[in-house]
Amino acid sequence: MLREDPDLAEAVPFEVREQAVEACIAPVLHIPRGQWSGEQTSVIRDGIGLIVLRGLLIRRVGIDGRFGAELLGEGDVLRPWQGEDAVSTFPHSTGWRVIDPVIVAVLDERVARRFAHFPELTGRLVGRALERSRNLAVSMAIHQHARVDVRLTMLFWHLADRWGRVRPDGVFVPLRLTHTVLGDLVAARRPTVSGAISRLAQAGLVAKTEDGWLLTGDPPRELLEVQDLRSGRPGEHADELA
């Protein structure tokens, strides 16, 4: 497990790291592209959950025909069964879709006992769960902007923070995201997204490639403000939080 996820390995003190690498083994689950119910994982309700090792998937939540979405990838911790059967005061739908074939490590109860010998791993996993919640807060802030082209630009740069790679011609985001998926992520309809992407491409800010998206120029000012709020640094909108 720790060979597949070096960030987890770094949480363990060096003097016992090799021991942890040998001890912390976990089964894996391969999930093909397409709709996914998560039912295969219901048998590990007493374990930690799942960690994405490879691939990309999206979780959609719909209320009255309108959807919000969360993009998840390498390193994310999932518990797809948690809360799905909870009683809600208003009807809503949820669903998972695998965009790129996914491999997850199954951290069931047996694996949790192995991890317990190395308590630093618990803190690292909790940190990832908190990071997921912070990313959702950033997404909510992005949705507040009226112009879809601004939302898309902010989203691309937000994704670049995690998955982007700097190249001589810009920042490459190796995610094959369709206009429909992008629409879910910025709360806009696909035709609107297509028009906005066309305008961004004409302006030389975003380019579609075979394996992802290429960003040029600097991140939009609005995203920098959102990141200030996320990190707790005082910014020009500090008074609005009082």
CA distance 166 to 216: 10
Tokens of 10: 């770094």
DSSP symbols for 54-99? EEEEEEEEEETTEEEEEEE-TT-EE-TTTTTT---SS--EEEEEEE
CA distance 120 to 139: 29
Stretch 147-168: mean pLDDT: 92
Query: Among 23-27, 51-55, 140-144, which is the least confidently predicted range?
Result: 140-144
Stretch 204-213: mean pLDDT: 93
pLDDT of 43: 57
Q: Which has the higher per-residue pLDDT, 35 or 223?
A: 35
As a whole-number percent, the residues of the chain with pLDDT over 70 amount to: 82
Stretch 170-186: mean pLDDT: 93
Reported confidence tier of residue 219, pLDDT bands at 50, 70, 90: confident
| Residue the block writes with tokens 């629409």 | 183
pLDDT of 92: 57
Strands 49-63 and 77-78: antiparallel
In order of 16, 98, 154, 224, 239, the CA distances from 221 in angstroms are 44, 32, 9, 5, 18
Domains and CATH numbers, the chain: 6-128 (2.60.120), 144-241 (1.10.10.10)
Query: Among 14-18, 29-33, 77-81, which is the least confidently predicted range?
Result: 77-81
* 216-224 contact pairs (CB < 8 A, 24+): 216/169, 216/170, 216/171, 217/170, 219/154, 219/157, 220/150, 220/153, 220/154, 220/157, 222/145, 222/150, 222/154, 223/142, 223/153, 223/154, 223/157, 223/158
To the nearest whole number, what is the mean pLDDT of the chain?
85
Q: Give the Cα-Cα-Cα angle 156, 158, 162 (nearest 5 degrees).
A: 105
Q: Are 30 and 103 in contact (CB under 8 A)?
A: yes
CA distance 239 to 48: 39
Reported confidence tier of residue 140, pLDDT bands at 50, 70, 90: confident
Per DSSP, helices labelled H in the chain are 6-10, 14-23, 109-115, 120-143, 148-163, 179-186, 190-202, 221-231
pLDDT tens profile 38-76: 765 555 667 888 999 999 999 988 776 667 789 999 999
Q: Is residue 207 over pLDDT 80?
A: yes
In order of 33, 93, 101, 129, 178, the CA distances from 75 in angstroms are 18, 26, 15, 10, 22
Question: Among 136, 60, 140, which residue's Cα sits nearest to residue 93?
Answer: 60
Q: Is residue 116 over pLDDT 50?
A: yes
Stretch 158-171: mean pLDDT: 92
pLDDT of 56: 95
Query: Among 28-42, 148-162, 215-229, which is the least confidently predicted range?
Result: 215-229
Phi then psi for 105, rounded to 5 degrees?
A: -85, 135
CA distance 204 to 24: 47
Q: Are 142 and 158 in contact (CB under 8 A)?
A: yes
